[in-house]
Structure 1
Amino acid sequence: MTPHKLACPKCRRTVPEVYWQGVDVVRCPACEGEFEQLRFPALAAARRVERAGALGAGEANCYFHAENRAEVACDGCGRYVCAVCRVAISGRNYCPSCLETRADRRKLPENHRLLYDRIALVAAFLPLIVWPATLITAPLALGLCLYAWRKPGSVIPGWRRTRLVVAGLFATVQIGAWLYGFGVMLLK
């Protein structure tokens, strides 16, 4: 879809189409200012809409739409699905019911995401039961917090950054306590 209006960034007036059609540098007729026009070919391209083919003689039909011709078999359950029902994820095809069921959802590649914030919290707090383990886990938790800061979190929004900060602060306190303890031992 091509935009029908283009506004000058200096004077905010609409520039008629004859001034900007087919050129990269546009001159505004009102203020005589020049600006660059960036065209995105994807906006002008027609959207490709999947349409199901009509069922012919001797062809398999879609499990969900009996009147549609089946395109592929679902990689989760093996049902034949049409182009409308097919959901392609990482080169594999799935039907809508496999995406909805919890058992098949765990097998999908997009659902396997490490939650570094929770791992960092466990690494910082769990070893307090056996406090000498904090000598190893505190630097591990701090390093994990720094590593995970830019990694994607859960698909469900929540307290990811807060958990990372809490785990990082707690790990820093543990490291500081160890350094203080070693310093006191060396001064004796």
Structure 2
Amino acid sequence: MSTASNNVLNCPNCGKSLSDLPEMLPAVERCPACERQTRVVVFPAFSRPVVKGATAEAVMMEGEATCFYHAKKRAQVPCDECGRFLCAVCDLEVNGRHLCPQCLETGAKKGKVQSLERGRFRWDQVISTLLVLPLISCGFLLPLTSLAALVLVVWKWKSPPSLVHNTRLSLIVCGVLALIEFIGGCAFWWFMLFGSRRY
């Protein structure tokens, strides 16, 4: 469906307006002109006015600070990361900081800009794998893997948590299970080494 500038949705089949009132659009099931079955989902941004982006001002006087990327445009702010002067077009405000396009791209790749982060490594899953795998395969490795899991719980406690999952709770549960497995594994080894000699 195409959107006109005055918040009117047109039918993709015939191009006629689906409804004159934006609040009636979700109730539209068929195009009034061609009777084609249509489903309309209206997002909140549909009724908001269109905001025009900032335009860069041209340099008026000799010696004025210019944009690093556009030599003929007046600088508005410096980049908070690298210090380059930026015009209104190049100024990208993220979390209250002014960044240039290159620093924003670098920050997104390295994970420095948290609002642009797409995913994080789940250490709680690695730890739970370390706890479950020896139970399934080889119980003799239990004290070693549970000790490694305990070390990882302590080491990764302050790492950034998952974006969608309660990682801290998982780390607490894994830490308790690792401690239980470590004690049980050491008792098993102790019994195998010293307890079997008595019998």
Q: Which structure shows the bigger proportion of residues in strand conformation?
A: 1
TM-score of the superposed pair, with normalisation by structure 1: 0.49
